[in-house]
Amino acid sequence: MMQNKNILLGVSGGIAAYKACALTSKLTQQGANVRIIMTDSATKFVSPLTFQALSRNDVYMDTFEEKDAAKIAHIDLADWADIVILAPATANIIGKLANGIADDMLSTTLLATKATVYIAPAMNVNMYEHPAVVRNMNLLTAYGYHFIEPGAGYLACGWIGKGRLEEPEAIIEVIKSHQEKETLLAGKRILISAGPTREKIDPVRYFTNQSTGKMGFALAEAAAEMGAAVTLVSGPVSLEISSNKIKRINVTTAEEMFQVMNVEFSSHDIVIKSAAVADYRPKITYDEKMKKKDGKLHIEMERTKDILKSLGEKKAHQFLVGFAAETQNPIQYGKGKLKNKNLDAIVINNVSEEGAGFGSDTNIVTYINSKSEEHEISIASKKEIARSVLQLILQDMKDDVV
């Protein structure tokens, strides 16, 4: 897994910097090409010469020291890296990265790289638990950075608690495991719909629903992390995509989503319709704002096109997955949808259940495939639910090939 990988190791100033020496040695022994950037504070704990000897490469410390006049060092390193490891990561460098501060060689390179970044914190337990540090780590996680949690025990400062840099062997195993997951969907093209639709009444009013798009966006980001080429068709939501590996197409109405999904369908291997599309729309819409009148207002509604059914009718090689958000008899209704719309699998959730409703950061679902095999996924973050659903889809696709 590490053979011939270009690994950029960022070492910031903490007593745990000595462990970065062992990490450099072990990565090199496993065939990786390792280059090191040290902060000025890090050089107070370990000599740059030590890392140079272990990696057999130059060590970088100064943004303005260009070792090759033909290249801008921090951009060249950022582009060169397949993987970036920040170990140890102090509260200071985590804060810089989270807030876009680039005032030295390491922070500048970190902001410039598009490589996968793994952050291994090491600091006093009270610093690790400080609200500002917790906020910065949560922000970086949302940006797509991967944290390798520190161990708990006796710290160099004398405190006992969480904050000890994870051992080099464990850091490498975490990275290997994550890298393996990143290739699970390599070569697959996945089409995902997310969010609500809006059906216009007049220029200021519309019908919609409570979907926030969180589940669909979680699926898109998880699929991209697993190596897939993802197209996300999104209704109007306030969410942003953190991955540059996802192609996003914004739509507003059910008709627009129908058109885009049908156009994109043939070029994708896996299609997941998690969007909450309006079943009805006003038969008549108005170009001017409707004025308030006495008495009742009657708006005649007409059916929108059934996106999932249309895809089920035309599918060839695609693995087609639907979502069923129900409030009563969810399994019964979900199984009916699975069969009637010619799906390969359906993900069912009871939106009235605590922890599974619209807008929630968690979900509880049941995955059922065309063989009527049921897999219950208990309450978890929508990102974790997404990973579980994608792994079940992969397993079903393998079983179908066999």
271's torsion region: left (phi>0), alpha (psi -120 to 50) or beta?
Answer: beta
Annotated binding site for CTP: which residue ranges? Answer: 279, 289, 323, 337, 341
Q: Which two tokens stand for residue 351?
A: 């939106």
H helices then E strands: how many in the chain?
Answer: 13, 20
Provide the terminal-to-terminal Cα distance of the chain, rounded to the nearest Å. Answer: 27
For residue 336, give the amino acid letter. G
Our answer to whether residue 21 is catalytic in this structure is no
Q: How far apart are CA 255 and CA 336, in angstroms?
A: 24
Q: Which one of the listed residues 101, 139, 157, 397 is annotated catalytic?
A: 157
In 213-253, which residue ranges form alpha helices assigned H by DSSP? Answer: 214-225
The dihedral formed by the CA atoms of 230, 231, 235 and 241, expressed in degrees to the nearest 10: 50
Give, for 368, the enclosing helix (H) or strand (E).
Answer: strand 362-369
Omega prior to 88 cis, within 30 of 0:
yes
Q: How far apart are CA 342 and CA 305, in angstroms?
A: 16
Q: What are phi and psi of 53, to 5 degrees?
A: -70, -40
Place of tokens 């996968």: 116
161's torsion region: left (phi>0), alpha (psi -120 to 50) or beta?
Answer: left
163's torsion region: left (phi>0), alpha (psi -120 to 50) or beta?
Answer: left
Q: How far apart are CA 166 and CA 170, in angstroms?
A: 6
Please list, residue by residue across 55-72, b when 16 or more beta carbons sit within 10 angstroms of its beta carbon and e when fewer do: beeebbbebeeeeeeeee
Strands 116-121 and 83-89 turn out to be parallel
Q: Which one-letter DSSP state was computed for residue 269?
A: S
Asked if 208 and 379 touch (Cβ cutoff 8 Å), the reply is no
Look at the alpha carbons of 179, 182, 183, 187 in this order and tell me if their dihedral is positive or negative. negative
Q: Which two tokens stand for residue 104?
A: 């030295």
Q: How far apart are CA 339 and CA 45, in angstroms?
A: 64
